[in-house]
Structure 1
Amino acid sequence: MYRKEFYVFDQEKPIKAVIRNYEKKDFKDLILIQQESFPPPFPSELWWNEEQLENHIELFRQGALCIEIEGEMAGSMTALLVDFDPHHPNHTWGEITDNGYIRNHNPEGNTLYVVDIGVRPKFRKLGLGKWLMLSMYEVVIHLGLERLLGGGRMPGYHKKSDDMSPEQYVAAVVKGTIKDPVLTFLLRCSRTPIGVVSNYLEDEESCHYGTLMEWKNPFHVE
């Protein structure tokens, strides 16, 4: 079980927050988070359904986290364990997450793989996405894993795709000459890009690319 109580700040005002494992009673709110976090053109069929959420809490509850602000559900993050080989990094989101059903969760895996993270728009000024990410780092350390890994959307890329390759776009984001809503956020959370994958996810804004970004466990011994 995971539960953490702390304060976030709305400018100078401290606000009570709780990060915990989500449960069946949260399913309605979790689906609402998806709907608000990923509006069109993001495909609605990729929002969570109850069967997926049931699998998350049954197969790997440690990777099913949500955050509440003063008792109201504000965001969530989901992960599974995989056995990742850095020498063969290419995969799609659907392949590595079982299309969000995580039936391929591997209890002996070396990597905590991010299936999804979302925060409702009205709470985004509070920095909750970063708090969820930091909490998943704690899960990585607690389980003695090598890394946290996930494919980041690059929703600003469609505006630059006529002039830049996806790799050039990621390099520009890392350099700071371009700000991407997702990749820049992940960089702020200490994630590091390790490669670009084509056809990662049905995502027109990203031109269907994803950027694999990892956080290595500083306590893990090679």
Structure 2
Amino acid sequence: MRKELYLFAGGKPERTVIRNYDAGDFRQLIEVQKASFPPPFPEELLWNAEQLAEHATRFPEGALCAEIDGRLIGSMTGLIVNMDDYGHAHDWETITGGGYIRNHNPSGDTLYVVDICVIPEYRKSGIGKWLMQTMYETVVQLGLDRLLGGGRMPGYAQHAHEATPEAYLENVVNGVWKDPVVTFLLRCGRMPVGVAREYLEDEQSNNCAAIMEWRNPFK
């Protein structure tokens, strides 16, 4: 897969490529992760070369990166699962195989988002939304039912004393509060279907995640 488009960062159009990543990209992908998820995000949750090799070989269609003039600025990774095998109350470690996606099931019904990240310099350029759109296209191309994933709720910790994670998510959806991740996913067309507690070690989200989906409109 390869597509070209123009991003506007700082008012200047920049020719950008979205494509599948491979072994030649691993060093840069790890640097993108470090820039995208600084502390207090746990460093052990950042990609390593072995995980990236699994992504690129087990499900290359779900291994996407964005590149400008040879420099990677973002990435997105997914795998296919059958959600009947996991249910609603799942966690990131289980459903992504610890990030190694060795549980990838080509016969499944759902493209599950393992990760999406964009370096800070390009976060207002629209590239995150383009990566998501490309993954939606993959859902359609493969005839899957939907895209699903757990979104961090990094604004929740400051409201945990006054709201459950479900109430926090409802307030974000209703525009009472803003959350950088959940609001981004809403703008990408993702719909909230619930909250998973103890989803991922993440003190900013109190370990919670908003489970959000995009349904294949052709199914």
TM bucket, shorter chain: over 0.9
Give the drift of 1:12. Answer: 4.3
Give the drift of 1:196. Answer: 0.4
In 2, the alpha carbon distance for the partners of 1:85 and 1:192 equals: 19
Within 5 Å, which residues of 2 pair with 1:145-184? 145-184=144-183
Within 5 Å, which residues of 2 pair with 1:1-222? 2-10=1-9, 12-85=11-84, 88-220=87-219
The C-alpha deviation readout for 1:118-175, integer Å capped at 9, x for no partner, is 0011121211111100000000000000000000000000000000010100000000
The C-alpha deviation readout for 1:3-60, integer Å capped at 9, x for no partner, is 0011112354321010000010000000001101011110000000011001001100
Query: What is the SS of the residue equivalent to 2:89?
Result: coil
In 2, the alpha carbon distance for the partners of 1:154 and 1:210 equals: 6
In 1, the alpha carbon distance for the partners of 2:150 and 2:166 equals: 14
In 2, the alpha carbon distance for the partners of 1:57 and 1:37 equals: 20
Q: Structure 2 unaligned runs (5+)?
A: none
In 2, the alpha carbon distance for the partners of 1:105 and 1:86 equals: 12
Q: Structure 1 unaligned runs (5+)?
A: none
Give the drift of 1:106. Answer: 0.2
Conserved? CA contact 2:32–2:117, under 8 Å? yes
**AA in 2 matched with 1:185:** F
Decide whether aligned partners of structure 1 residues 160 and 85 sit closer, same or farther in structure 2, where only a CA change above 3 A counts: same
**AA in 2 matched with 1:28:** R
Tell me whether 139-148 or 5-14 shows the greater mean CA deviation.
5-14
**Runs of 4+ residues over 2 Å off in structure 1:** 10-13, 85-88
**Residues paired across the two proteins, number:** 219
Give the drift of 1:62. Answer: 0.4
How well do the aligned residues superpose, as a CA RMSD in angstroms? Answer: 1.3
Tell me whether 180-189 or 81-90 shows the greater mean CA deviation.
81-90
**AA in 2 matched with 1:127:** G
In 2, the alpha carbon distance for the partners of 1:88 and 1:116 equals: 19
Conserved? CA contact 2:149–2:211, under 8 Å? yes
Decide whether aligned partners of structure 1 residues 213 and 35 sit closer, same or farther in structure 2, where only a CA change above 3 A counts: same
Tell me whether 192-201 or 119-128 shows the greater mean CA deviation.
119-128
In 2, the alpha carbon distance for the partners of 1:158 and 1:136 equals: 29
**AA in 2 matched with 1:126:** S
In 2, the alpha carbon distance for the partners of 1:6 and 1:32 equals: 23
**AA in 2 matched with 1:199:** E
In 2, the alpha carbon distance for the partners of 1:170 and 1:33 equals: 28
In 1, the alpha carbon distance for the partners of 2:85 and 2:97 equals: 20
